[in-house]
């Protein structure tokens, strides 16, 4: 067999990736030393933490809470703001081994326009935008931008008009109709869809008889949500023609294979990285061995293998 086979390279949403494993937003250290060398060996790309127009301090109180099979987080989009990102953080990781995906949080359309206009000025340093439409839309009673097809269309159309490079859209699992949300995002110019963001959960301090988090609810990630994310990937991939990136509970090689078979073209890994930053490199070895045993020469051959069988 050719030494280059099986190949983990894949093309996703306008980018050529050396691996189908992408570090999800907010889960990879910003330290420049972590963006090159052995630690990045198994990664195809890295998503930045969420970027907003202005600096955000994040939520008060407890921010992380372990569950039996996952993690609840209530970070609150803590970041230094887009101007500080451009002037300070971006130059620090200019010498990197993997593509940079800038995760942009949609707060409101005017702010989004400003953020993207500023990022467009350094477009040569950013490989793609990942649009996070899970943030509250204050003009619609606080529901997430991605909760309904109409607001999704507005956000994606705004981003597409200002950003000419690859545009990925990260969907919320709480959309009223995720298939329609996905098709609207595609029609408005998305190059790929990330399915999906965290599920809303809650934890209670039973000794003090109060919610653990100041904001009561928090985002649940980790192995507990994997079957839910897998189902959404299958649903969305069946109805769009652009690549789908599976996200939610991916922790081992078998999870990646399942996501690919369900229709994903790549995956994002997040919570599992908190336990082991070397995990992507380890998984790629296992993934290659699986591909050899099952006679798959490329990632592309695996996409959608199980997406058109079975039913409800």
Catalytic residue positions, numbered: 135
Q: Is the peptide bond before 6 cis (omega within 30 degrees of 0)?
A: yes
Residues sharing a CB contact under 8 Å with residue 87, sequence separation 6 or more, in sequence order: none
Pairing state between β 210-211 and 204-205: antiparallel
Q: Which residues pair with 221 in a beta bridge?
A: 71
* Token pair listed for 297: 């020469």
Gap between the Cα atoms of 211 and 103, Å rounded: 29
Cβ–Cβ < 8 Å for 249, 222:
yes
Phi/psi zone of residue 189: left (φ > 0), alpha (ψ -120 to 50 degrees), beta? left
Residues sharing a CB contact under 8 Å with residue 187, sequence separation 6 or more, in sequence order: 153
Nearest-10 crossing angle of helices 253-262, 226-237: 30
Number of H helices, E strands in the chain: 8, 16
SS3 state of residue 277: coil
Which of 235, 218, 215, 219 is CA-nearest to residue 227?
Answer: 235
Q: CA-CA distances (angstroms) from residue 24 to 43, 205, 217, 246, 272? A: 11, 29, 21, 11, 10
* Token pair listed for 201: 């959960």
Report which secondary-structure segment, H or E, holds 195.
Answer: strand 192-195
Other Cβ atoms less than 10 A from the Cβ of 58: the count is 11
Would you call 305 exposed, middle or buried from its count of C-beta atoms within 10 A (0-12, 13-18, 19+)? middle
């Amino acid at each position: 067999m050719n030494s280059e086979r099986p190949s983990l390279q894949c093309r996703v949403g306008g980018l050529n990736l050396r691996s189908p494993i992408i570090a999800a937003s907010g889960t990879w250290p910003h330290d420049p030393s972590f963006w090159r060398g052995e630690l990045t060996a198994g990664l195809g790309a890295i998503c930045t933490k969420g970027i907003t127009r202005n600096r955000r301090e994040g939520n008060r109180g407890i921010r992380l809470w372990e569950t039996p099979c996952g993690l609840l987080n209530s970070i609150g989009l803590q970041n230094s703001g887009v101007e500080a990102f451009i002037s300070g953080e971006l130059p620090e990781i200019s010498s990197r081994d993997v593509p940079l995906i800038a995760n942009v949080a949609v707060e409101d359309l005017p702010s989004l326009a400003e953020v993207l206009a500023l990022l467009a000025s350094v477009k040569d340093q950013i490989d793609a935008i990942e649009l996070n439409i899970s943030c509250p839309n204050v003009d619609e009673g606080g529901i997430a931008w991605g909760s309904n097809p109409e607001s999704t269309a507005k956000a994606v159309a705004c981003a597409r008009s200002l950003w000419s490079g690859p545009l990925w859209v990260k969907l919320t699992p709480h959309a009223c109709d995720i298939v329609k949300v996905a098709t609207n995002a595609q029609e408005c110019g998305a190059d790929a869809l990330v399915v999906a963001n965290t599920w809303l959960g809650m934890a209670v301090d039973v000794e003090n008889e109060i919610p653990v988090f100041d904001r009561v609810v928090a985002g649940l990630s980790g192995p507990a949500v994997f079957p839910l994310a897998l189902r959404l990937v299958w649903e969305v991939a069946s109805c769009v023609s652009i690549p789908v990136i599976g996200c939610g509970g991916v922790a081992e090689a078998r999870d990646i294979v399942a996501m690919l078979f369900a229709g994903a073209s790549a995956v994002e890994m997040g919570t599992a990285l908190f336990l082991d930053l070397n995990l992507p490199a380890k998984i790629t070895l296992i993934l290659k061995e699986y591909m050899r045993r099952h006679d798959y020469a490329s990632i592309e051959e695996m996409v959608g293998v199980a997406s058109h069988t079975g039913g409800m």
